[in-house]
Structure 1
Amino acid sequence: MSSTNMRIWDQVDKTDTRFTKSAEVGGQKITSLNGTAMIMKATEIFGPVGIGFGWSVMEERFDEGSEMVSGEGDKRLVLGRELNHTIKIRFWFELDGKRGEIEQYGCTRYLYKSKYGTTTDGEAPKKSLTDAIKKALSMLGFSADVFLGMFDDQNYVQQLQAEQAIEQAEDREAEIERQKQERLDYIKSVVDTMQGAQSLQELKKLHDHAVRRLTARNDDTAIKRIAKELRDLTPKFTQESAA
């Protein structure tokens, strides 16, 4: 039953890194997902939009936000209030002859004050709809790795990129061989750097950084090799401390 429940999730939880980009919203750095790419993935799972899945708008409105002001003190002038566009949709999909429904919201700033002055976004309704669709799909597991914060770990992203490079390569065997050599070169560079460490603290830092990266790649053999180097080099620093 568990595997059945996770059937969709396990097919869609990993995000194709080609369709992501870094963005900053409200001072917070995020990973932005391409809406069209998510629709493409949904089409792969459910069928064409309008047949296998779709949505209907239940509610749409503009909500007032903070005051927009200009100047300070006696010269303070209230220009009005910010406006945010909000949309509520009912997202539906067909699976094994059954219909599923999810209700979700999408929100976008429409009227606000920026460093350039009062600004309006004419595409706010479209952006809100895309936001709501992406949020609905996320409830089914689409791009779960992004929503779970896994894209904050650069090691995870690099491993994902490596896997996708093999899947998308015209010559998969050549790509696999390239990555194997890249792995060997990385392990050698770590070992060489560890051997040049000037303190036990530096040695452990190099070890820990490499292990985090290799753990993301599930490379137990390489982790053991790095750990062996740590064990072999540690006595050098403990003996120096004793002397």
Structure 2
Amino acid sequence: MSTTNMRIWEQVQTTDTRYTKNAEVGGQKITSLNGTAMVMKATEMFGPVGIGWGWKVLEERFDDGHEVFAGEGDKRICLGREIGHTVKIQLWFMQDGQRGEVEQYGCTRYQYKTKYGMTTDGEAPKKSLTDAIKKALSMLGFSADVFLGMFDDQNYVQQLQAEQAIEQAEDRQAEIERQQQERLDFIKNTIDTMQGAKSLQELKKIHDHAVRRLTARRDEPGVKRIAKELATLSPNFTQGDAA
């Protein structure tokens, strides 16, 4: 794919970690994106909402879900139905004098059962709209690193935080020097830990953990230094120690 085709994607794919948080939805752990931060990023890319980009609501509805019951046996009663809110939008944007359009849905629970009984979320329509906008922007590459699952790799997140800390620091040189010292301390502590390993299996585990972190930070010299230590220490153990 040409650079022209990926131009928007490459400019908006990286997420500012300040505007993310860990969340749990349906028992699944996810990275939640701040809707306002995504709107700000789109404004940087296309211009003010309503001029450079925006959206139109195409459809809005409330959908009945399954019935909700309380109690057991003869005392079992129906509390009502769960209800979900759905909105469909058409997100538009201007690029090089051309208008682009993306359609997406946003969904939110409106009426549902909690441990305290049935409840209704009066902000469901607003949440559905925000959900639809975020999903539509994701189709253009906004916060692609989150949607591609890269935030599941803690090493990637730490590297991103380090890069953003330099970019946002008042004294960038001081931050660079702090991170350089942190890198040296990490490598030294890793080597010290490897030298104290009691088995080949433990040695390789320490090595692999450090290499994953250093690779995520694109630190090839650091990877080579840890690999050299592994090669030096491995002969101290028999192959049977790896079992």
Q: Same fold (TM over 0.5)?
A: yes
What is aligned with 1:8? 8
What is aligned with 1:45? 45
Matched, 1:133 2:133: yes
Closer/same/farther in 2, CA of residues 221 and 110 from structure 1, 3 Å limit: same
Q: Following superposition of structure 1 onto structure 2, how do residues 202-221 of structure 1 map, counting pairs within 5 Å? A: 202-221=202-221
Q: Following superposition of structure 1 onto structure 2, how do residues 90-129 of structure 1 map, counting pairs within 5 Å? A: 90-129=90-129
Question: What do you get for the CA RMSD once the two structures are aligned?
Answer: 1.1
What is aligned with 2:146? 146
What per-residue deviation string (whole Å, max 9, x for no partner) do you get for residues 89-131 of structure 1?
Answer: 0100000000000000000000000112111111000000000
Question: What amino acid is aligned across from residue 220 of structure 1 in structure 2?
Answer: E
Q: Following superposition of structure 1 onto structure 2, how do residues 150-189 of structure 1 map, counting pairs within 5 Å? A: 150-189=150-189
What is aligned with 1:201? 201
What per-residue deviation string (whole Å, max 9, x for no partner) do you get for residues 157-205 of structure 1?
Answer: 0000000001101111111111100000000000000000011111010
Deviation at 1:239, TM superposition (A): 8.4
Question: What amino acid is aligned across from residue 77 of structure 2 in structure 1?
Answer: L
Whole-angstrom distance in 2 between the partners of 1:210 and 1:147: 26
Give me the TM-score of the superposition, normalised by structure 1: 0.97
Whole-angstrom distance in 2 between the partners of 1:19 and 1:239: 47
Whole-angstrom distance in 2 between the partners of 1:75 and 1:25: 31
Closer/same/farther in 2, CA of residues 7 and 239 from structure 1, 3 Å limit: closer
- Give structure 1 stretches of 5+ with no counterpart: none
| Structure 1 counterpart SS, 2:231 | helix
Deviation at 1:240, TM superposition (A): 9.0
What is aligned with 1:58? 58
| Structure 2 counterpart SS, 1:2 | coil
Question: What amino acid is aligned across from residue 166 of structure 1 in structure 2?
Answer: I
What is aligned with 1:70? 70
Whole-angstrom distance in 2 between the partners of 1:106 and 1:157: 27
Matched, 1:30 2:27: no
| Seq. identity, % | 80
Whole-angstrom distance in 2 between the partners of 1:108 and 1:160: 30
Give me the TM-score of the superposition, normalised by structure 2: 0.97
Whether contact under 8 Å (2:14, 2:143) holds in the other structure is yes
Closer/same/farther in 2, CA of residues 152 and 240 from structure 1, 3 Å limit: closer
Closer/same/farther in 2, CA of residues 239 and 151 from structure 1, 3 Å limit: closer
| Structure 1 counterpart SS, 2:133 | helix
Whole-angstrom distance in 1 between the partners of 2:202 and 2:29: 30
Whether contact under 8 Å (2:155, 2:212) holds in the other structure is yes
What is aligned with 1:236? 236
Whole-angstrom distance in 2 between the partners of 1:217 and 1:172: 18
Question: What amino acid is aligned across from residue 197 of structure 2 in structure 1?
Answer: A
Closer/same/farther in 2, CA of residues 211 and 239 from structure 1, 3 Å limit: closer
Deviation at 1:74, TM superposition (A): 2.2
| Structure 2 counterpart SS, 1:223 | helix
| Structure 2 counterpart SS, 1:179 | helix
Deviation at 1:73, TM superposition (A): 2.1
